[in-house]
Amino acid sequence: MSTVTTGGTGKRETVLLSHAFGDETRQRLEELFPEVRFVLLPASGEVPRDAEGARVLLRKSMPHDALHTAMDGAPHLAWIHTASAGFNWVLTPRVAATDIVLTRTADVLNKPIAEFVVALYLALLKGLPAFLRQQRERDWRRPPSLGSPSGGTAVVLGAGAIGRETAVRLGALGMRVLGVKRDPAPVPGFDEMTAPSGLRDLLPRADLLVIACPLTPETHHLVGAEEFALMKRGSYLVNIARGPVVVEGAMIAALQDGTLAGAGLDVFDTEPLPADNPLWALPNVIVTPHVSYLADQNEEGMIEEFGDNLRRFLEGRPLLNALKSRELGY
């Protein structure tokens, strides 16, 4: 068996796996990398003494306290890969204060999330929530008309991996897709691109606003009452990014007064969504429990993407999908 040494100790490279992965994933990684030792951590994040030299942590569904416990037990950590699409699950103030390299699963979760955006929008546009209520009541009743995405305009706030996949799918439905991102250079799949300072100029054109940007100090409460007032009456909102990008109270008011015809929400200010939150009861809202990323093939895709980076790490090459700015959070 070939070995990969660390720090000249002659020991095999050790990779820590958070508890959520389980033995099946560990065994799959061992098959792909027989020269590497993979250690599955308990839910507490406590690192076995014989794994204290680990330099890599593969993280999924790991609470911050468990993450910090793992950092305590593996003081030589040099790289953390998160199975999430965003960095906020792992970029705690303590992690941000280190020089640990952070990477994310960028090109696996983006596709099911983009599919979910389309599913939510079409469900709202075609009146599925009302039809489901009618089904429960055995009420055979037809509306005067139903919406269609064809010919409409979508504004996608955030043109990263998720935004790009979303734009391609919305474009296939016959929509014109306008993007907002820090660097307004053209991006395939988008008909137009603008900087965040131009968001308000795009909103009056939007039949659909998709929130697909990371949550940062700059994007916190980026969409509020003033932004909703600029939108077409009867437009739609889909948020699969983070709840606090939108001012929740302003969104609820826009849903109640008809500014928004409906909203598909997979993320919220507080998760789980409290039982007394008015969003539960609004008939023009679809509430889903932060599941847009779920897909049967995610685990295999994540392993493949992490595996590509692990090979790079072992060979001393730069890692892909790394955090660009600790200050910006992406």
Give residue 2's pLDDT: 29
Q: Which of 28-32, 105-109, 278-282 has the lowest mean pLDDT?
A: 105-109
- Written as one string, the DSSP assignment of 239-277 is E-S-GGGB-HHHHHHHHHHTSEEEEEES--SSSSPPTT-
The pTM score is 0.90
Report residue 34: phi and psi, to 5°.
Answer: -65, -15
Residues 220-237 have a mean pLDDT of 98
Assess contact for 26 and 17: CB atoms under 8 A: yes
Is the bond preceding 144 in cis, omega lying within 30 degrees of 0? no
Answer yes or no: are the C-beta atoms of 207 and 152 closer than 8 Å: yes
CA distances from 200 to 9, 44, 186 (A): 57, 45, 19
- Structural domains of the chain, with CATH: 14-108+296-315 (3.40.50.720), 110-287 (3.40.50.720)
E-strand stretches of 158-242? 176-180, 192-194, 208-211, 235-239
166 Cβ contact list (under 8 Å, min separation 6): 113, 114, 117, 118, 156, 210, 212
pLDDT digits (tens, 9 = 90+) for 181-224: 999 999 999 999 999 999 999 999 999 999 999 999 999 999 99
Tens digit of each residue's pLDDT (9 = 90 or more) over 133-190? 999 999 999 999 999 999 999 999 999 999 999 999 999 999 999 999 999 999 999 9
Residue type, 188: P
Q: In whole angstroms, how far apart are CA 116 and each of 21, 255, 268, 291? A: 24, 21, 16, 9
pLDDT of the residue at 5: 36
300 carries an active-site annotation: no
Known catalytic residue at 290 = yes
Residue-wise pLDDT for 78-133, tens only, equals: 999 999 988 988 999 999 999 999 999 989 999 999 999 999 999 999 999 999 99
**CA–CA separation, 211 and 213 (whole Å):** 6
- Residue-wise pLDDT for 16-26, tens only, equals 999 999 999 99
What is the pLDDT, as a whole number, of residue 109? 94
CB of 149 closer than 8 Å to CB of 122: yes
Tokens of 113: 């999330």
| 274-282 long-range Cβ contacts below 8 angstroms, 24+ apart | 278/252, 279/248, 279/252, 282/252, 282/255, 282/256
For residue 235, the tally of other CB atoms under 10 A from its CB is 24
> What is the model's pLDDT at position 7?
37
pLDDT of residue 142: 97
* pLDDT at res. 169: 98
Q: Please answer whether residues 53 and 6 qualify as being in contact, where contact means their C-beta atoms are separated by less than 8 angstroms.
A: yes
Where residue 3 falls among pLDDT bands split at 50, 70, 90?
very low
Q: Listing from the earlier edge strand, what are the strands of the sheet with 176-180? A: 192-194, 176-180, 153-157, 208-211, 235-239, 260-265, 285-287
Helices 128-136 and 110-125: angle between axes, nearest 10 degrees: 70
Residue in 64, 290, 312, 326 annotated catalytic = 290
The single residue of 59, 227, 242, 248 carrying the catalytic annotation is 242
Q: For the chain, state the CA radius of gyration.
A: 22
Q: What does the pLDDT read at residue 11?
A: 67
Q: Which is the catalytic residue, given 182, 271, 311, 317?
A: 271
Question: pLDDT tens for residues 35-51?
Answer: 999 999 999 999 999 99
Q: Identify the DSSP state of 222.
A: -
The span from the CA of 135 to the CA of 139, in Å, is: 6
Question: Of 260 and 107, which is predicted with more confidence?
Answer: 260
On average, the pLDDT of the chain sits at: 95
Is-catalytic flag, 49?
no
Q: Is 10 helix (H, G, I), strand (E, B) or coil?
A: coil
Listing DSSP states for 85-102 in one string gives SSSTTT--HHHHTS--EE
pLDDT above 60 for 229: yes
